């Protein structure tokens, strides 16, 4: 096939130039995909807990604008919610903060974590990818999310020491690490899960050790529905039958948190702009590259090469360039993702990678076509020295 022959010959005889071209495409790909992944990683910090919650509905206290820390629910609400038709299970979720100051007695730099109290086996409690999920409703056990595990390098079975401010004092509590769960950041900080009864005692509060006997308070309730139950209808039913609550789905729960939308639109805008600029750069790059072949293309046309042959040659070469460049860029990105410290959150979105690749594959050839059309019209004559 002649176009392929010409495209490959040109590349083979200009190895240095085309290596540079590959590199540019690779770097550009890397730039787009990586900044995009960083942005998504950042926004994940706001959504991860709810994204992985695994329940269809979340119950908040009424009129707190779905603010996790502002919401207060008591134990009596749980049984009321559970009685609503369509509800399969309800789990209380209490969220506060603490710092891990030691692992197996060895001091750490002090990692701030979300201290989340859940009822073992109920909605809101995480599954463990290693070790065991929480199974004792009072024990001093903890399940750590992946971010905590990776940052502190904690082994299963280790004892971690939490520092919590209660009243005027700092209290230290030891917990045994029973399992690891997937990442579940809450408000950008990684999380550890403990049984709600234990959480009640060790969370930051006025009275050290908590008030035995007081009504158990938590922040929100996670609701799992019967398979066939329509979420909207059940949500409405809960709001009708249980007083002073507001029900939503996990996605709305984080979307409405303060600052989330601002941040999200900043990130999207950044990603969009980056893509646009890169598409323009790649486009003009290929356009210039094509325009540089004016003399050659004109000569080929003049000796009788068809426009289609010339254009196919250009396209094949651009496709090869993009494929090789994207492959190199992708490989470098993958390598970087492996060596990057766990503290840098990066998330690769399949959709965004696809959009980026498709945009590049559209922009390169489109720009080259625009250039080629002009060339093909005038250049056979210019090859003869007639200006056309």
Ligand X SMILES: Nc1ncnc2c1ncn2[C@@H]1O[C@H](COP(=O)(O)OP(=O)(O)OP(=O)(O)O)[C@@H](O)[C@H]1O
Q: Is 195 helix (H, G, I), strand (E, B) or coil?
A: strand
The CA-based diameter of the chain, rounded to the nearest angstrom, is: 99
Q: What ranges make up the beta strands (E) of 185-324?
A: 191-195, 217-218, 220-225, 245-248
Cβ closer to ligand X: 85 or 388? Answer: 388
The distance of closest approach from Cβ of residue 382 to other proteins in the complex, given in angstroms and rounded to an integer, is 9
Which of other proteins, ligand X, none lies near 300, with the C-beta cut-off 5 to 8 A by kind?
Answer: other proteins
3 is an interface residue for other proteins by CB under 8 A: no
Nearer to other proteins, 305 or 370 (CB): 305
Residue from 155, 209, 230, 388 in contact with ligand X (CB under 6 A): 388
**343 near ligand X, judged by CB under 6 A:** no
The smaller minimum CB distance to ligand X, of residues 213 and 385, is found at: 385
Close Cβ partners of 64 (under 8 Å, ≥ 6 residues apart): 70, 71, 246
Q: For tokens 């646009």, what's the residue?
A: 276
Burial class (CB in 10 A: 0-12, 13-18, 19+), 78: buried
Q: Which residues pair with 170 in a beta bridge?
A: 165
Q: What is the x/- site pattern for other proteins, positions 302-321, by CB under 8 A?
A: xxxxxxxx------------
Q: Residue 307: which of other proteins, ligand X, none does it interact with, CB under 5 to 8 A by kind?
A: other proteins
Partner that binds at residue 274, options other proteins, ligand X, none, CB closer than 5 to 8 Å by kind: none
Q: Is 244 helix (H, G, I), strand (E, B) or coil?
A: coil
Q: Which is nearer to ligand X, 293 or 382 (CB)?
A: 382
Contact 368, 314 (CB under 8 A): yes
CA distance 89 to 349: 32
Residue 70: which of other proteins, ligand X, none does it interact with, CB under 5 to 8 A by kind? none
Residue 321 in tokens:
């360039």
Residue 296 binds which entry of other proteins, ligand X, none, CB below 5-8 Å type-dependent = other proteins
From the CB of 296, what's the least distance to other proteins, in Å?
A: 6
Whether residue 246 contacts residue 59, with contact meaning beta carbons closer than 8 Å, is answered with: yes
- CA distance to 8, 38, 147, 382, per residue, from 44 (Å): 44, 10, 12, 57
Cα(149)–Cα(153) distance, integer angstroms:
5
Residue 172 or 384 having the CB closest to ligand X: 384
- Of 358-387, which residues contact ligand X (CB under 6 A)? 385-387
128 binds, among other proteins, ligand X, none (CB under 5 to 8 A by kind): none
Residue 105 in the binding site for ligand X (CB under 6 A): no
Report the distance separating Cα 15 and Cα 33, nearest Å. 26
Q: Contacts with other proteins in 368-387 (CB under 8 A)?
A: 380-381, 383-386
129 binds, among other proteins, ligand X, none (CB under 5 to 8 A by kind): none
Binding residues for other proteins, rule: CB under 8 A, are 2, 5-6, 9-10, 12-14, 295-296, 298-309, 380-381, 383-386
């Amino acid at each position: 096939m002649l176009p392929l022959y010409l495209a490959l010959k040109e590349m083979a005889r200009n190895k240095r130039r085309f290596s540079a071209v590959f590199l540019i495409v690779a770097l550009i790909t890397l730039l787009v995909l990586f900044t995009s992944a960083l942005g998504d990683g950042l926004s994940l910090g706001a959504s991860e807990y709810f994204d992985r919650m695994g329940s269809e509905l979340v119950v908040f206290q009424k009129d707190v604008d779905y603010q996790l820390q502002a919401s207060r629910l008591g134990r009596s609400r749980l049984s009321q919610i559970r009685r609503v038709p369509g509800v399969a299970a309800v789990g209380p979720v209490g969220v506060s903060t603490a710092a891990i100051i030691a692992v197996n007695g060895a001091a750490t730099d002090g990692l701030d974590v979300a201290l989340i109290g859940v009822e073992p086996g109920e909605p809101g409690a995480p599954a463990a990818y290693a070790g065991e999920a929480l199974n004792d409703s009072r024990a001093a056990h903890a399940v750590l999310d992946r971010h905590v595990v990776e940052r502190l390098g904690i082994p299963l079975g280790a004892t971690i020491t939490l520092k919590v401010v209660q009243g005027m004092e700092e209290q230290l509590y030891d917990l045994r690490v029973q399992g690891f769960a997937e990442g579940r950041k809450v408000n950008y900080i990684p999380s550890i899960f403990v049984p709600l009864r234990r959480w009640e005692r060790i969370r930051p509060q006025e009275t050290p050790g908590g008030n035995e006997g007081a009504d158990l308070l938590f922040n929100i309730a996670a609701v799992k529905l019967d398979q066939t139950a329509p979420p909207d209808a059940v949500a409405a039913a809960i709001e009708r039958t249980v007083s002073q609550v507001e029900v939503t789905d996990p996605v709305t729960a984080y979307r409405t948190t303060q600052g989330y939308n601002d941040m999200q639109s900043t990130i999207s805008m950044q990603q969009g702009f980056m893509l646009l600029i890169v598409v323009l750069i790649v486009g003009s790059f290929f356009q210039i590259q094509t325009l540089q072949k004016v003399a050659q293309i004109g000569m080929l046309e003049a000796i009788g090469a068809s426009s289609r042959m010339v254009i196919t040659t250009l396209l094949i070469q651009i496709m090869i360039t993009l494929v090789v460049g994207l492959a190199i860029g992708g490989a470098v990105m993958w390598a970087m993702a492996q060596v990057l410290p766990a503290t840098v959150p990066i998330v690769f979105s399949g959709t965004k990678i696809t959009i980026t690749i498709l945009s590049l594959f559209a922009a390169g050839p489109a720009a080259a076509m625009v250039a080629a059309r002009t060339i093909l019209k005038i250049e056979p004559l210019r090859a003869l020295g007639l200006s056309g």
